Structure 1
Amino acid sequence: MSTPDGYAKLARLMGAEPETALFRRFGSLTMINLLRLQAELQDLEQQLEEAREEDTKISDGIRNKYVHDFRLMRDEAEEGDSIQHDLLLDIGRKLEEYHTALDKALRISSATVPTRREIKFLQTWLKRPSMGNNFLNSPEDAIWSDENVNDLISVRASGSDDDVFTSFLNGSLLSLYHRIWGERHGRNQSGLLGTNIRRYNDSHIFKLSKIISTTLSSLLPTLAILVLFFVKRMLLRIGLVIVFTAIFSFTLSVTTEARKVDIFSATAAFAAVEVVFVGSTAANNTA
Structure 2
Amino acid sequence: MMAKPVIGYPRLSNYMGQFPEVAILRRFGNLGAQNLLYLQCELVHLEHQLRQVELADNQSNVGQKSQYAVDWFYLSQSGLESDRQQLDLFLKIRKRLREYNEAVIQQAAIAALPEPSAYDLNDLQQFLERPDMGPVALDGLDSLVWGSTTDPDSRASDLISLRGRHDEDSFSKWATEKATVRIFRWFGHKFTTPHPHYGEVVCNDRDVLEVTRIITSVFASLLPVASTVVLYIVESMAARLGIIAAFSVVFAVSLCRLTTARTSEIFAATAAFAAVQVVFVGTNGPHTGASS
TM-score range, shorter chain: 0.7 to 0.9
Instruction: Report the Cα offset of residue 27 of structure 1.
Output: 2.6
Tell whether the 8 Å contact from 1:10 to 1:132 is kept in structure 2 after alignment. no
* Equivalent-residue separation in structure 2 for 1:2 and 1:225 (angstroms): 60
Instruction: Report the Cα offset of residue 142 of structure 1.
Output: 1.7
* Equivalent-residue separation in structure 2 for 1:59 and 1:276 (angstroms): 85
* Equivalent-residue separation in structure 1 for 2:265 and 2:245 (angstroms): 19
* Equivalent-residue separation in structure 1 for 2:55 and 2:240 (angstroms): 76
Matched position secondary structure for 1:171: helix
* Equivalent-residue separation in structure 1 for 2:68 and 2:113 (angstroms): 45
The change in CA–CA distance for 1:79 and 1:273 in structure 2 (over 3 A counts) is: same
Matches for 1:159-170 after TM superposition, within 5 Å: 159=166, 162-170=168-176
Instruction: Report the Cα offset of residue 253 of structure 1.
Output: 4.4
Matched position secondary structure for 2:133: coil
Q: Which residue of 1 aligns with 2:137?
A: 135
Matched position secondary structure for 1:274: helix
Q: Which residue of 2 aligns with 1:215?
A: 218
Instruction: Report the Cα offset of residue 206 of structure 1.
Output: 0.6
The change in CA–CA distance for 1:239 and 1:51 in structure 2 (over 3 A counts) is: farther
Matched position secondary structure for 1:200: coil
Tell whether the 8 Å contact from 2:21 to 2:165 is kept in structure 1 after alignment. no
Q: Which residue of 2 aligns with 1:280?
A: 283
* Cα deviations by residue, 1:235-271 (Å, 9 ceiling, x for unpaired): x655654554454344334433456776565445324
Instruction: Report the Cα offset of residue 121 of structure 1.
Output: 2.1
Q: Aligned letter for 1:193?
A: Y
* Equivalent-residue separation in structure 2 for 1:283 and 1:90 (angstroms): 85
* Unmatched tracts of structure 1, length 5 or more: none
The change in CA–CA distance for 1:149 and 1:245 in structure 2 (over 3 A counts) is: farther
Q: Aligned letter for 2:104?
A: L
* Equivalent-residue separation in structure 2 for 1:239 and 1:64 (angstroms): 86
Matched position secondary structure for 1:185: helix
1:256 corresponds to which of 242, 259, 268? 259
1:40 corresponds to which of 39, 42, 47? 42
Q: Which residue of 2 aligns with 1:85?
A: 87
Q: Aligned letter for 1:66?
A: Y
Q: Which residue of 1 aligns with 2:236?
A: 232
Identity %: 34
* Equivalent-residue separation in structure 2 for 1:162 and 1:242 (angstroms): 28
* Equivalent-residue separation in structure 1 for 2:44 and 2:245 (angstroms): 56
* Equivalent-residue separation in structure 2 for 1:37 and 1:239 (angstroms): 66
The answer to whether residue 197 in structure 2 is matched with residue 192 in structure 1 is yes
* Cα deviations by residue, 1:36-65 (Å, 9 ceiling, x for unpaired): 223322333333333334444x16454343
Q: Which residue of 2 aligns with 1:102?
A: 104
* Unmatched tracts of structure 2, length 5 or more: none
Matched position secondary structure for 2:139: coil
Instruction: Report the Cα offset of residue 192 of structure 1.
Output: 2.9
* Equivalent-residue separation in structure 2 for 1:109 and 1:252 (angstroms): 30
Pick which of 97-106 and 110-119 moved more.
Answer: 110-119
* Equivalent-residue separation in structure 2 for 1:115 and 1:233 (angstroms): 48
Matched position secondary structure for 1:114: coil
Tell whether the 8 Å contact from 2:23 to 2:162 is kept in structure 1 after alignment. yes
Instruction: Report the Cα offset of residue 167 of structure 1.
Output: 1.8
* Equivalent-residue separation in structure 2 for 1:80 and 1:259 (angstroms): 66
Tell whether the 8 Å contact from 1:128 to 1:134 is kept in structure 2 after alignment. no
Pick which of 123-132 and 59-68 moved more.
Answer: 59-68
Give the TM-score normalised by the residue count of structure 1.
0.77
* Equivalent-residue separation in structure 2 for 1:228 and 1:149 (angstroms): 56
Give the TM-score normalised by the residue count of structure 2.
0.76
Tell whether the 8 Å contact from 2:115 to 2:164 is kept in structure 1 after alignment. no
* Equivalent-residue separation in structure 2 for 1:199 and 1:278 (angstroms): 50
* Equivalent-residue separation in structure 2 for 1:135 and 1:225 (angstroms): 60
Matched position secondary structure for 1:98: helix
Tell whether the 8 Å contact from 1:131 to 1:192 is kept in structure 2 after alignment. no
The answer to whether residue 59 in structure 2 is matched with residue 52 in structure 1 is no
